[in-house]
Amino acid sequence: MNKNLAPEIVLEPERYELQTPPVHHFEIDRRDFAKIVGTGIAVFLLSKGAIAQQQQGESGGRGGGGQSAPKDISAWLHIAENGAITVFTGKVEIGQNVRTSLAQVVAEELRAPFDSITMVMGDTRLTPYDAGTFGSQTTPRMGMQLRHVASVACDTLKNLAAKQWNVDAARLVPVAGKITDPQTKLSITYGQLAQRQAFETAVLGDDPLIAPADWTVAGKPLGKVDGRDFVTGRHKYVSDMKLPGMQYGKVLRPESFGATIASIDVSAAQQMPGVAVVRDGDFVGVTAPDPQTAERALKAIKVEWKPVAQQQPDSKNIYDYLKANVQTGGRGGGRGQQSGATDTSAIDSALAAAQHRLDATYKVAFIAHAPLEPRAAMAQWDGDQLNVWTGTQRPFGVRTELASAFHLSEEKIRVRMPDMGSGYGGKHTGECAVEAARLAKGAGKPVKLTWTREEEFSWAYFRPVGVIDIRSGVNDDGTLTAWELQNYNSGNSGIDTPYKTGVHSTPFHSTAYPFRQGSYRGLAATANFFARESHMDDLARAIKMDPFAFRMKNLQDDRIKAVLQAAAEKFGWDKTKPASGHGFGLACGAEKGGYVANCAEVAVDKSTGAVKIVRLVVAFECGAIVNPDGLRNQVLGGNIQGLGGALFEAIEFENGRVLNPKFSKYRVPRFQDIPPIEVVLVDRKDLQPSGAGEVPLMALAPSIGNAICDATGVRLRALPMIPAGIVKT
């Protein structure tokens, strides 16, 4: 392995991301891929597992076998006779700008002009299998794989030129889409080298790569590669797409979560011209030639619902409900349980011996992703072949869901994912695609289904609600003697403490919960960071130590210390004191190879209690920066989105019903909510890049909470902290 390679980041998927993998994979053969693009040069990346499997005599078949079944191709690229370079990856573009940044790293390793590269993404027919675009893995994993593919492609081109000129390949230089020979001054373009080739080569991914310090194309700020299509409205999101003869679908939603149909009369809808009613158990939907007719047909259905038998919790008593409904041996577990002692008696005695003891409970509400493009899918059946276009972070996962729903083999299904109106972890699932496909099957025509905003709020899934209990002990000199953090339901991401502690335990408990819940940008790390960093501040206060000094004393990771230092310096942490009625706060942490620290200044009106965020600083480090412009956008955007969950976003619910499923009732951050935010990017060219989609927002909420406490002495231990809203900037 190249020495430049960062240690593999251990990805611990949240429990909702632990999907049972499909038993069979029917990826098309490498030669089929080549047929798609014709002649030229194709380079495939084979995983090491695939090679090992082939060496075992290929008895297992392609990708067959158990949980760790290798998908033998993880990425590939093609160089056409006209010099066009096409890169195929199962990752998807959801606003994080990887269509641009992945092309940058390919251009770098291939020494090809940036604009000669086209990315084909998230198409289950054309691109290799990929588990999904989540967990901040696109840059560290897919980016690395594509660099290897591009690097081998470059070597292949050099060897072809060397053969043509009958010289040693080592003396040839690739630059700007050409191979040149410095001695003879001859040069030949990649396109010319690709002519009359039907060349394919497979690579393992252990060849040397260009070090980030030597990058010329990667590492540069580049805007969205197809930005013009978006500012002109030309880009077609799935919700914009149409097919000949396409019908518009609507789905009948239950009156409360889990309710089933007691009685139904669809006759009035059925009699409407052009309308098809599709019923399959408790699934009922309609299709019509236009959306207005579909809407009228849906309203014409008479239905009585049977709610679930038990009274469901509401947004007030949910926290008691979670602790009263712990599930043992369920879907929980995870690394939280493995860290430190789980023996509470050891914690108890360490707490008893501590000079200061502090226990507290923190709460986080259900929040919604509310991507501005709601779920949308278009489905078309051709015999038993199914074509689906849908906005999802997991096109291959959606294909599996479709295969399961319609009892089809996956090879009969093609899922395409045009760049979508974002997801933030909220579009991992395929319910809308399954519904569209069911309607299309019933109607016998292609169907597009676009969820309404209310449907998106009510029937997608939420960031989990949670309760976090912390018990802790600290001595006067700032030594942490005991640390116990117990998370109920919200999740185990970022649950471990980065601080040196004596006895510690950080278990996660699965509980029952009343709605669908799942991944959300940053997963539970946002909740666990909030609890931990709020609590650390109170411990610092208890021993009258500066919160910055307290953290620096106990942090064990130099990269966290570096971002904390960087944020504090930019903020002027020890240079200035807050004005009267103002407060300063900071927070920090690391997750998924990203390192983050935030500083906040707030002003609180003592008479009204109104909070104004005066300014924020966020420092972030994720190794070598591939695209500083894109990264800055992610860090700033993540913090702005994070303001909602930190301050005022919360799903209100009662007995299986969401009470605020609209933007007029569910407040999201808007222009006037945004304080001045300074972003400090720490570029570590000595390290390989990691991802940036999630970590930048993790320290935001506690930094604001700590600033509020600094200003007022009041500790807010629930997210959102200020449901009534902040003072406008």
State the DSSP code for 384: T
User: Which residue, 239 or 510, has its beta carbon nearer to other proteins?
Assistant: 239
Helix (H) / strand (E) element for 705: namely helix 700-712
Candidates 155, 181, 629, 654: give the one binding other proteins (CB under 8 A): 629
User: Which residue, 470 or 640, has its beta carbon nearer to other proteins?
Assistant: 640
Q: Does residue 633 bind other proteins (CB under 8 A)?
A: yes
User: Which residue, 98 or 365, has its beta carbon nearer to other proteins?
Assistant: 98
**Residue 195 Cβ, how far from other proteins at the closest point, in Å?**
33
Candidates 176, 324, 372, 579: give the one binding other proteins (CB under 8 A): 372
**Residue 688 near residue 144, CB atoms below 8 Å:** yes
| 358 phi, psi to nearest 5 deg | -140, 120
**Residue 427 Cβ, how far from other proteins at the closest point, in Å?**
11
Q: Which 389-418 residues touch other proteins, going by CB under 8 A?
A: none
Candidates 15, 78, 148, 224: give the one binding other proteins (CB under 8 A): 224
Q: Give a three-class secondary structure readout of 92-104.
A: CCCCCCHHHHHHH
Candidates 292, 327, 404, 556: give the one binding other proteins (CB under 8 A): 292
- Residue span binding other proteins (CB under 8 A) among the ranges 178-186, 367-375, 551-559, 711-719: 367-375
Q: Does residue 370 bind other proteins (CB under 8 A)?
A: yes
Candidates 374, 395, 491, 518: give the one binding other proteins (CB under 8 A): 374
Sorted by sequence, the CB contacts under 8 Å of residue 92 that are 6+ apart come out as: 121, 122, 133, 392, 393, 395, 417, 419, 420
Token pair listed for 468: 């976090």
Q: Does residue 725 bind other proteins (CB under 8 A)?
A: no
Q: Does residue 373 bind other proteins (CB under 8 A)?
A: yes
Q: Interior CA angle at 623 toward 424 and 591, to 5°?
A: 50
**Residue 708 near residue 585, CB atoms below 8 Å:** yes
Closest of 167, 173, 119, 174 to residue 146, by C-alpha:
119
Sorted by sequence, the CB contacts under 8 Å of residue 464 that are 6+ apart come out as: 364, 366, 489, 490, 491, 513, 517, 518, 520, 524
Inter-axis angle of helices 547-554 and 558-571, nearest 10: 160
User: Which residue, 76 or 451, has its beta carbon nearer to other proteins?
Assistant: 451
**Residue 229 Cβ, how far from other proteins at the closest point, in Å?**
9
**Residue 234 Cβ, how far from other proteins at the closest point, in Å?**
7
Token pair listed for 412: 């009969």
Closest of 560, 534, 539 to residue 646, by C-alpha:
534
Query: Going residue by residue from 670 to 689, which x/- string records binding to other proteins, judged by CB under 8 A?
Result: xxx-x--x------------
Q: Does residue 61 bind other proteins (CB under 8 A)?
A: no
Candidates 28, 169, 272, 636: give the one binding other proteins (CB under 8 A): 636
Q: Distance between CA 516 and CA 518 in Å, rounded? A: 7
Q: Does residue 450 bind other proteins (CB under 8 A)?
A: yes
User: Which residue, 293 or 511, has its beta carbon nearer to other proteins?
Assistant: 293
User: Which residue, 18 or 372, has its beta carbon nearer to other proteins?
Assistant: 372
Q: Does residue 240 bind other proteins (CB under 8 A)?
A: yes
Q: Does residue 102 bind other proteins (CB under 8 A)?
A: no
The percent of the chain in helix, strand and coil, each rounded to the nearest 5, is 30, 25, 45
Token pair listed for 112: 């090809």
- Residue span binding other proteins (CB under 8 A) among the ranges 74-82, 102-110, 303-311, 419-427: 419-427
Single-letter residue type at 139? T
Candidates 48, 163, 171, 234: give the one binding other proteins (CB under 8 A): 234
Q: Distance between CA 543 and CA 562 in Å, rounded? A: 24
Largest alpha-carbon pair distance within the chain? 85
Taking the alpha carbons of 665, 671, 675, 679 in that order, is the dihedral positive or negative? positive
User: Which residue, 481 or 634, has its beta carbon nearer to other proteins?
Assistant: 634
**Residue 252 Cβ, how far from other proteins at the closest point, in Å?**
18
Query: Going residue by residue from 243 to 272, which x/- string records binding to other proteins, judged by CB under 8 A?
Result: -----x------------------------
User: Which residue, 100 or 565, has its beta carbon nearer to other proteins?
Assistant: 100
Candidates 669, 689, 691, 720: give the one binding other proteins (CB under 8 A): 669
**Residue 617 near residue 566, CB atoms below 8 Å:** no
Please tell me the count of residues contacting other proteins according to CB under 8 A. 57
SS3 7: coil
Q: Computed over its alpha carbons, how large is the radius of gyration of the chain?
A: 27
User: Which residue, 368 or 540, has its beta carbon nearer to other proteins?
Assistant: 368
**Residue 461 near residue 516, CB atoms below 8 Å:** yes
Candidates 104, 639, 660, 703: give the one binding other proteins (CB under 8 A): 639
Q: Does residue 340 bind other proteins (CB under 8 A)?
A: no
Taking the alpha carbons of 486, 490, 491, 493 in that order, is the dihedral positive or negative? negative
Binding residues (CB under 8 A) for other proteins: these are 94-97, 223-224, 227-228, 230-237, 239-240, 242, 248, 290-292, 369-374, 419-422, 424, 450, 452-453, 629, 633-634, 636-641, 662-664, 668-672, 674, 677, 729
